[in-house]
Structure 1
């Protein structure tokens, strides 16, 4: 049960609105720094979109659907004969829910451990340093804070004229809990979320089609050559792509959804049938109900809270971090800002290196990147070199029979300083950490190539790609 607080209680040093990755980390760090802190969360469970209906449940389904697909299609060639394989979707969904519950309860324990108060309720501004809170278990209270941090995250971007019912037309939330495998599953939007959830349901037996307005999948951070390779690998899984296609309307009947679309270049109309449609065209900042206008907090045309380089809003004493403001909508980016904002409040100093924020698409093979892409460097007029190394030439990948993909280095032409790394392949999401560390410390490609990597490991491909960017690889 949520605790209530009298309006005449001593003000908190820090009040955090939102218990997602940015919010709860900000609250924990503030508590560790000795600041009297409270976290207010309206969901009734900590962890935000990431833990409850995003990163964590989707990774559970991605992992378990991959195992199911492997048993059906991969184990026989490895000398493992399995008969009578069946999907128990109910148990798979329960495993997902168990992971979510365990982690959200763990966050609540971390708040207690660091002496952070926790209020379950919806907060809205009553003044620059004052919040009205509608408690989830009934009643209301008022909370005062010397510093207020807005960390309310993001929500699914709506598609004009299309209503999401979470049954036939679903958001990512509904796509995580479908009661049965749909025969035809159409994804509108070829970004990270659409590709991951499309992979899940394809592995479980659905016919999956991805409809994307642009001519490439993955989003703007992915290099063009990596995006093409990713598309080819997903087509091998059986996913169909309709790129350069604009959706005009989505209409549902008793057991079917009809999509009317058109080719962007030719204008040719296309009809697509589905049982379930996933609307995955992006996310937008979640500021509804906060009453930001009461304290004059400025927002831009895209609904993002405007902040300076110390996360201050236009209202003194109020700051904002995470998806609700600028930058990539990533849980780990919000976490870094959560630490920084607590340090700013306590010491006046904090820092996040936005040039070293990795991103991962958890398809199979995984796609990961950090730093600048070739497209960005061309636009900036930076002179650069590239080096690649395929997993087909890596001994561990060959042994594992997982040779799809490559590692690509982008380095400054004159100095060999690492500017960006892109990986498509097994365990790319783990391997990208080495690239992120290299960017954080300003390493050159030669620094990495001269660092001993264990043999046989997938990470040797990382070393070889670094070597290829300034000299020649040794094993290809």
Structure 2
């Protein structure tokens, strides 16, 4: 039996950041993770490998398409898919080894195995060889993350019918890839394979893609993807899928009811969302029961049981790595008596397609529903010097500000590198900045960031570059 101040169950972005912060604050901490590497879904089979393939596929498309030729670069390019996957795996390995280094640096101990709670203050860890050890701690942090949501009637085998993990490791470029679900994961992975040569069809139950997006932003984004070659079947549902050694046949019908149709594909990616992972966690030994969505309820990361804390995908809020990291910091700081807080109103969201999409704060639809009077400032990247000379002028910046106080309430971006640009507004909104504050702040020229300023100027109608 080993005793700790804190035991963290799960080594993903929530868990490993909790362990690192605990070590920094002088706590004796153990992080229980059963994978062969730290980093959870995000580093191993999620955010990071998908970004590696998005980057590589974007460069490939630029080389084989008209983009390089337009710039005066003439090349003859061929796809080496095996090498593309190899560099992706090497990048992931570098990152996961980096987490191990940070654990050593901050005196956080990695206990390899699968953890389950065995009553208050006790965690049993089962190693790969079947042996078990007991850890005791005053505080236990549940950070077990999430798993892909299954689709009734569709058996995911990761041969022809894939989840996101399988779609990151295909041995060939599909002639036709069907993506079930028009959310972030499906559109990002669909983008990878479309750039590499696949025909991509997206089947979505709702009548729009990425339903959490600001309506105008979502429509602009969908038009861009359609122009690139995405096929969309919105308001449709998959009732069954039959796979063979060579492909898949899907039965699709209108979500509102109607005549079925068959759709054939080489591969199918099921990406209808994720659900909390709590299987075998021993929650019943401490009287914790998931809610009807499978989530573990908490109040400022505290469960209803003293000494048990909950963070990340396993609980409410957006299933995002940076949200889990913020919760990890706040949770551990509360454990040591600090005032840890997470501002859930200002957690940004990004879609890493081309163009990228990035948002933070309220949408127009939310403000209308609240009855809050607001102003809109909008600026197109077509009016931005850097975007124009880089031939990446698609998209816009949209700023929503309170009509009376001018406080920035929401920001919605579609365009080049907006995943990097959104951080400026996250900081500004954390300090309750007004649109005028941004409008009067000098930005370097020529940069894409100037579009942020121009949109803020336009809240009061004085954008100068368009």
Q: Distance in 2 between matches of 1:265 and 1:458?
A: 43
Match of 2:13 among 15, 21, 29: 21
Q: Distance in 2 between matches of 1:346 and 1:127?
A: 22
Q: CA deviation at 1:119?
A: 0.5
Instruction: List aligned pairs for 1:200-219, cutoff 5 A.
Output: 200-219=192-211
Instruction: List aligned pairs for 1:19-98, cutoff 5 A.
Output: 19-73=11-65, 74-83=67-76, 85-98=77-90
The equivalent of 2:462 in structure 1 is: 472
Structure 1 unaligned spans of 5+:
1-6
The equivalent of 2:232 in structure 1 is: 241
SS in 2 for 1:52: helix
Match of 2:250 among 254, 259, 262: 259
Please state if 1:165 is matched with 2:121: no
CA displacement, residues 324-376 of structure 1 (integer Å, 9 cap, x when unaligned): 00100000000011111110000142111111111100000100000111111
SS in 1 for 2:336: helix
The equivalent of 1:143 in structure 2 is: 135
Structure 2 unaligned spans of 5+:
none
The equivalent of 1:325 in structure 2 is: 315
Match of 1:366 among 356, 362, 366: 356
Instruction: List aligned pairs for 1:183-332, cutoff 5 A.
Output: 183-220=175-212, 222-265=213-256, 267-309=258-300, 311-332=301-322
Q: CA deviation at 1:160?
A: 1.3
Q: CA deviation at 1:184?
A: 0.6
The equivalent of 1:152 in structure 2 is: 144
Q: Is the 8 A contact 1:123 1:290 kept in 2?
A: yes
SS in 1 for 2:113: strand
Q: Give the paired residue count.
A: 465
Q: Distance in 1 between matches of 2:211 and 2:429?
A: 22
Q: Is the 8 A contact 1:367 1:429 kept in 2?
A: yes
- CA RMSD, 1 decimal: 1.0
Q: Distance in 2 between matches of 1:395 and 1:268?
A: 50
Q: Is the 8 A contact 1:150 1:319 kept in 2?
A: yes
Please state if 1:114 is matched with 2:106: yes
The equivalent of 2:119 in structure 1 is: 127
Q: Is the 8 A contact 2:153 2:239 kept in 1?
A: no
Q: CA deviation at 1:137?
A: 4.1
Q: Distance in 1 between matches of 2:265 and 2:195?
A: 17
Q: CA deviation at 1:206?
A: 0.6
Moved more, 173-182 or 130-139: 130-139
Q: Distance in 2 between matches of 1:297 and 1:170?
A: 32
Q: Distance in 2 between matches of 1:118 and 1:188?
A: 37
Q: Distance in 2 between matches of 1:361 and 1:155?
A: 19
Q: Distance in 2 between matches of 1:266 and 1:409?
A: 39
- Tell me the TM-score normalized by structure 2: 0.98
SS in 2 for 1:470: coil
CA displacement, residues 76-128 of structure 1 (integer Å, 9 cap, x when unaligned): 11111112x10000000001100111100110110111011110101111111
